[in-house]
Structure 1
């Protein structure tokens, strides 16, 4: 089958950002170029072919793109792609379970629904759990110095790659051949302060007769950014709600009604030096006076302190003319520190901080937030993580005799370790301390509430660092995941010949294992630390798979691709699941430069190891009591309800009976490349997911429970029966009637999800005689529909319009404008995140979010990079990220610190990077 102009054009566009691409200013003879094309293996297929654009739309980002578009790391690359529409928890969410990890959400789906590969081989999951629930792949461990390109194939890819490829596949291709040695050093900083960073990269390659060696080293350093470093959210004075501009309650004394018991200004005066001298006698409207700091929230980090070292080696030995031995090793060590903010104390966790004050005859509560002056060091409370990971592959590949058959047999293993350390107050020691210095001995109980005769003068006193550290304990947890497999692959690009051309074939046999171990400090799980619990669990499973793929030319202009795969999983200790998936696709080329394509596929995701093997775990959290707010304080917005921050203890465990999540998808599109300088494409996709596994959402359960109790939902519906069983409350005659006691969440197979959209791409390059060479690139994704349903009888939730359930972007557009003239290359990269629903629907007492809230305006940022070739071997580049210093779009209804949606936007502000590159030892 004769190669087409389309393949040549797309190959040229893929290198559009490379230095050489700008130099190719003269027209070329298309026929001559096409005839020199080699067959290659593209992401989304196992059969080598000359067509780069196939029935599966692929987005490719080259190493030149990464450098010239101003990206700091692989995470920024992928998070900035229009396909990454979903909100995620990254380092800005320092209070989460995975504050040092960097996940992505393709097409608005769960991070675990994206399969991340290195050179087509799966990476191990991150050992800690996303949102305390599920497994995912961390992108922080991949060094940019070793990346050749990144391919993204959206939609179902399980028939080729197996489990998890529902949202799509990210395939990170590492460098296999480098001519000479390349060294670079980069320094960077931020306008607002903090975040200073440095990076050193060294890569090299050499050939000795039959042996090719490529290796690399990357060292990185990044300082933290705290909320205090950003004037837009350094204090509660930045709250968009003027009525909420009061300080954190660093010293507060409550009555049973929720009103504050006034300490008087004299009690606060000795505390004025805490939190950098910002503690004052403050007032909260409707509640009363207290001692607080408006700058306390800014003492948490939004960008982690990070030190990392990565190494890479790739060896290829030509054993003979038809056989190669190869080995690849990628190792990484990263040390992270994140600060989730100040620790605090209340007298009794079991009674939500309330005690019976024998001196007043009333139920009362105290709250105490500890300042950096008391801990002795702003960073004392930091969570410190050391993450070690490696990916290794050993294999042999070649041709089978003189036939058309090629084979590739390899063993691959990926492993990820995390050693986590953190200081946290021990419950018994801290209770003993405050009994000694403030509460006095317990005098009994009143309806379960401990009775004390507190000395308020002892409450309004600062601690010394020695006192604070006297009730601390160090939590240390070592977690680990690994995945390994043996893989045998055969390909034949000419299995047999039809009138329209050769039939291609690929077959795969695979056997492997996965392991997850997240033991957690036993004192955490047994509630020995104050107000803290955690996840735990471990397990192992075996899997095997077989897959085949055919590429069949039906006639000269129409080609079909068919693939099928069978996967089988067996859990250690019992439980199994198997799944068959397939994909059928068509490519129609009426002329060489035009491609119409369509595909239909099924996919699956085996249940996360954590969903299956999680042990009995507890957790403490603060929740709004929607039911009591609605019934006891009707008409009061939930943000102002005195019961909107109730502490509860929850429980969670795994479910060994879970089955695989299943999905089906279909799509189609068109690609047009009239010449080797211009390509435009558009594709439609739709993915329907069944049997989705997820922990029941606690906040949603509380909203549902409130609606059920008030008759807004049918009390006999499955949703109400389930919610009422999971939320435990005190009786109506208790001292705090109907107070929430316990909550329980568990993973189940029940939910459905449906997402569809359109992607479009454009690349165009042209050269002039006097003004240099230009290039334009554009990427666009619009989500047409994204809906979910928890139970079959429940209403369908519109995730694009209901801000409680999702804050994903409906549309994202990115564009690149490049110009090269002489030794100067300039690249401007911009990305526009479309409007999202605002947070107004959260401010309701009805227990349900509105179906159509107001909108937050679009957010557009630009990166500008100037690269100057000082000599043939030395270049300098300057990059300004977020060139116009755009802060996250202001949402006047988002009244929670830091007053913007940290899962959608970042508050880092403008940054600058200066980089020097030096190349030497290249072949002449």
Structure 2
């Protein structure tokens, strides 16, 4: 007996079910009780070019309907997709403040980074975000796509390069936008967090006219506005993960403005001060930093030596973000016109705009001697070190130190303090506008079903920078007595010290597709032989130059840039047959030509066998590839840090107290200069899936799939990914710096034998491999209660990683359940288990949905970095100084599991009006500690912003209403 799926009953079931985020087509359909079964609707499911009636395909596909999205209680697509059980290490979340592409969000299926997951819109490519993740991996920003524009989201959890080309290694996320709309729908929603910050407002309107069958056309427009306020670290400082004082936890006090041995007892405080490091009158045995005679506090009513050394001149961090402020304005228009009974044309245009304010640092801008060592940057394409360096950062005895203040210490002194009137350091206001124009011609002719498409897409970011310091101007204005270090400076003076500047970057991708499908034979074994073939072309350009002031080194910052393009032409085909009863097999293949490296051929095969109605087997094999992108082979450059090291010359034995060592060189995160490589070859993958489909009883559907993905020829930066690689460290000149005396923590100023490390070069290379394998389960049960008491539905989506192995040279590292791979993907953690359970109840106008998201714990070790000692994972992996000079407590060697529950309720008051309410993080679950992640390192928060962001946001309430007419 042939298996058939009645798609319309299932669509209705999905619409009224619990709002499960794992709603996928049931494995088998139930026969109707009498009557004539209606003709099954044929649809094209992501992962195939051929339409079908049975949407339970040989490849695992998860479907989120518009109803699922609304019932999630979420307020953005990024939040929704982050909770997918298949989403893993390398995820880029909105709370990931330290990312190169901060402000944007990307999904990493199977934990293989955002670069291995292809995101499509209506089955077509979209221009990637102009700032690549880690300045390397291209991805589509999902944070700007509005809810009301989406018809459904299909997540293909299998390699699909044989149909879609590059990047579809771990899977495909296909976001399907609305095609037509009748009537008008108004929606409004407000929400707020329990613990402060994060207030959210959202409103939308959608309206459409015309009936495609009766009028021959449909036209619609949908608009949405969303505003989300920032959550500052100060809003959560009552929680350990947002509190900088680690003394009660066995660590250091990292509170801004508190002098400790790890900052050599000299740190910018709430009051600026001069420090004379070379006072010859120090009593014997009294080090410079312990002698109050060496200090001159410039605002003594606010701070003095005693108060400063006791930590009383600390600075409260009121600037760093846990969640950035965002504002979205979205508009989409669409029209479908019937040309004949067999042909229609569809037009779609959209403008999705997101504005966010991102703070990549942890404090106000500061001045201290190390702030003025200069910047390593690319000036006119030439790598230049110490651009903008101030050779002498001292102020002579009696000389001005800004307005109305002079150095009264009797000798040259250094200035420490926060720069007033500037605000948060390294702040970027990012307005990103994604525009898309698409036209599709679909129809039938001469036995062929034809789909021809053209489109133009662009993502443009307007970046406004503030909180950056022009070092030369600052010191000139301090020395000539113009800049007031106590504040209230004239706007022109502030602009000279901290210029505000802008940059414009963009990414474009234009495409054309032509696909045709038909039955070659109506009877090939037990069914037809179906065939599809197509051609694809796209041209991609990335123009993300550095801003003028970062390019010439005028401000103390480095910035990533990418300028390049690629052209891709491809042909592809698919065969589908049922050679024997109940056995479906498929073959597909694609040939790609890239003008950047050459050619790739990627085949795939799949099958589904259902010997009985209640049981089926399925499996796939696919080859895939990821083409080197402009950031890897074009004109591009970036600077990055990812781990802590000791200077092999200035701190040879790693001890801060050994005589002659430079304590600040014993643990620091060196900068690397990332260089491109035009000879790179594509990454290549092989993937396998094998699964079962079971429907043991009416209403219960289960699938269990095993996957294995192998990626070779990885494009990686050489530092951290080649065990034999020792960077050639570029050093600056040897200047006066604090050197250990060998007596306790005492130091004296001196000039070491060599200067400090400025940077190391790290090119992209093809090296190593990654293999991951695991299982994913999807269980759905829906039953109607007796006596018309309503309908209950339960859905479970779960994923378990058996292994995640990275091979580098002759070394192999098992990273499942660890912090790795931290050299790619931002140390976002690699938990073995993720699950999502949804329980729903529906009766008449009432619909209640509870969703539980679970993430297992994992180790803070990253074996690929050689981090095997629990005493130092915070520093080794995340570059954190929580326990610098101390023994890291064993409790911070692991990240605890995290479970968060969301509750959503809606009630249909009338046929036109529906009200809804939601509580996210219902039980106010707190984010667990993760001392080794570095995505939010600037704010020194110790939680994982990619996996545990709901635990930092805390309990969130929302209330909304929909009205249709």
Give the TM-score category using the shorter length.
Answer: 0.7 to 0.9
Offset of residue 388 of structure 1:
1.1
Equivalent residues of 2:802, 2:816 under 8 A apart: no
Matches within 5 A, 1:723-762: 723-725=726-728, 735=752, 737=754, 739-762=756-779
1:270 matches 2:302: no
Is the partner of 1:719 in helix, strand or coil? Answer: coil
Residue number among 427, 432, 436 corresponding to 2:471 in the alignment: 427
Residue of structure 2 in register with 1:660 after alignment = 682
Residue number among 245, 269, 272 corresponding to 2:253 in the alignment: 245
What is the distance in 2 between the residues matched to 1:254 and 1:93?
39
Residue of structure 2 in register with 1:776 after alignment = 794
What is the distance in 2 between the residues matched to 1:339 and 1:581?
42
Change beyond 3 A, Cα 1:108–1:437: farther
1:219 matches 2:225: yes
Residue of structure 2 in register with 1:310 after alignment = 330
Residue of structure 2 in register with 1:88 after alignment = 91
Is the partner of 2:357 in helix, strand or coil? Answer: strand
Residue of structure 2 in register with 1:706 after alignment = none
> C-alpha root-mean-square deviation of aligned residues, in Å?
3.7
Offset of residue 794 of structure 1:
3.3
Residue of structure 1 in register with 2:865 after alignment = none
1:719 matches 2:736: no
Equivalent residues of 1:306, 1:334 under 8 A apart: yes
Change beyond 3 A, Cα 1:207–1:2: farther
Offset of residue 485 of structure 1:
1.4
Equivalent residues of 2:242, 2:942 under 8 A apart: no
Change beyond 3 A, Cα 1:695–1:381: closer
* Deviation per residue, 1:837-885 (Å, 9 max, x gap): 1369574399977999842221111110111111111011110001111
Gaps of at least 5 residues in structure 2 are 24-28, 257-266, 279-285, 375-385, 398-408, 736-749, 862-867, 878-887
Change beyond 3 A, Cα 1:234–1:634: closer
Residue of structure 2 in register with 1:112 after alignment = 115
Residue of structure 2 in register with 1:693 after alignment = 715
What is the distance in 1 between the residues matched to 2:133 and 2:287?
34
Offset of residue 236 of structure 1:
2.1
- The number of residues matched between the two structures is 855
Is the partner of 1:761 in helix, strand or coil? Answer: strand
Equivalent residues of 1:355, 1:365 under 8 A apart: no
Matches within 5 A, 1:222-371: 222-230=228-236, 231-232=238-239, 235-237=243-245, 241-248=249-256, 249-251=267-269, 260=289, 270=299, 292-296=313-317, 298-340=318-360, 341=362, 342-347=364-369, 348-350=372-374, 367-370=416-419
Offset of residue 104 of structure 1:
1.7
Equivalent residues of 2:230, 2:322 under 8 A apart: yes
Equivalent residues of 1:90, 1:102 under 8 A apart: yes
Equivalent residues of 1:158, 1:581 under 8 A apart: yes
Residue of structure 1 in register with 2:421 after alignment = 375
What is the distance in 2 between the residues matched to 1:890 and 1:406?
55
What is the distance in 1 between the residues matched to 2:199 and 2:36?
46
Residue of structure 2 in register with 1:412 after alignment = 455
What is the distance in 2 between the residues matched to 1:33 and 1:300?
64
Residue number among 494, 497, 508 corresponding to 1:482 in the alignment: 508
Residue number among 435, 439, 451 corresponding to 1:390 in the alignment: 435
Offset of residue 67 of structure 1:
1.4
TM normalised by structure 1 equals: 0.85
1:681 matches 2:720: no
* Deviation per residue, 1:565-618 (Å, 9 max, x gap): 0010114xxxx3210001111110111232200111100011122111133556
Change beyond 3 A, Cα 1:507–1:229: same
Residue of structure 2 in register with 1:586 after alignment = 607
Equivalent residues of 1:622, 1:645 under 8 A apart: no
What is the distance in 1 between the residues matched to 2:425 and 2:754?
39
Residue of structure 2 in register with 1:715 after alignment = none
Equivalent residues of 2:346, 2:439 under 8 A apart: yes
Residue of structure 2 in register with 1:538 after alignment = 563
Change beyond 3 A, Cα 1:884–1:260: farther
Change beyond 3 A, Cα 1:268–1:726: closer
Matches within 5 A, 1:884-923: 884-890=923-929, 897-906=940-949, 907-920=952-965
Equivalent residues of 2:297, 2:305 under 8 A apart: yes
Offset of residue 102 of structure 1:
1.0
Residue number among 16, 41, 46 corresponding to 2:44 in the alignment: 41
Residue number among 838, 852, 859 corresponding to 2:898 in the alignment: 859
Equivalent residues of 1:526, 1:533 under 8 A apart: no
Equivalent residues of 1:391, 1:413 under 8 A apart: yes
1:570 matches 2:595: yes
Matches within 5 A, 1:193-208: 193-208=196-211
Change beyond 3 A, Cα 1:31–1:540: farther
Change beyond 3 A, Cα 1:550–1:756: same
Change beyond 3 A, Cα 1:223–1:815: same
Equivalent residues of 1:804, 1:842 under 8 A apart: no
Of the structure 1 ranges 464-473 and 8-17, higher mean CA displacement relative to structure 2 is found in: 8-17
Equivalent residues of 2:92, 2:114 under 8 A apart: no
Is the partner of 1:78 in helix, strand or coil? Answer: helix
Is the partner of 1:109 in helix, strand or coil? Answer: coil
Residue of structure 2 in register with 1:60 after alignment = 63
What is the distance in 1 between the residues matched to 2:347 and 2:7?
30
Residue of structure 1 in register with 2:264 after alignment = none
Of the structure 1 ranges 171-180 and 881-890, higher mean CA displacement relative to structure 2 is found in: 171-180
Change beyond 3 A, Cα 1:852–1:114: farther
What is the distance in 1 between the residues matched to 2:335 and 2:225?
22
* Deviation per residue, 1:282-332 (Å, 9 max, x gap): 899xxx667742523x42112122221111122111111111111111211
Equivalent residues of 2:694, 2:701 under 8 A apart: yes
Change beyond 3 A, Cα 1:676–1:477: farther
* Deviation per residue, 1:136-155 (Å, 9 max, x gap): 21111211111111111123
Change beyond 3 A, Cα 1:765–1:479: same
1:547 matches 2:583: no
Residue of structure 2 in register with 1:399 after alignment = 444
Residue of structure 1 in register with 2:158 after alignment = 155
Residue of structure 1 in register with 2:259 after alignment = none
Is the partner of 2:636 in helix, strand or coil? Answer: coil
What is the distance in 2 between the residues matched to 1:52 and 1:646?
54
What is the distance in 2 between the residues matched to 1:582 and 1:622?
39
Residue of structure 1 in register with 2:881 after alignment = none
Offset of residue 507 of structure 1:
0.4
Residue of structure 1 in register with 2:872 after alignment = 844
Change beyond 3 A, Cα 1:465–1:621: farther
Equivalent residues of 2:815, 2:821 under 8 A apart: no
What is the distance in 1 between the residues matched to 2:964 and 2:294?
66
1:473 matches 2:499: yes
What is the distance in 1 between the residues matched to 2:641 and 2:554?
12
Residue number among 147, 168, 173 corresponding to 2:171 in the alignment: 168
Residue of structure 1 in register with 2:745 after alignment = none
Offset of residue 561 of structure 1:
0.5
Residue number among 637, 646, 657 corresponding to 1:625 in the alignment: 646
Residue of structure 2 in register with 1:605 after alignment = 626
Gaps of at least 5 residues in structure 1 are 274-278, 439-457, 702-717
Equivalent residues of 2:803, 2:814 under 8 A apart: no
Offset of residue 258 of structure 1:
11
TM normalised by structure 2 equals: 0.81
What is the distance in 1 between the residues matched to 2:220 and 2:247?
53
1:870 matches 2:870: no
Equivalent residues of 1:236, 1:245 under 8 A apart: yes
Equivalent residues of 2:647, 2:757 under 8 A apart: no
What is the distance in 2 between the residues matched to 1:31 and 1:585?
35
Is the partner of 1:320 in helix, strand or coil? Answer: coil
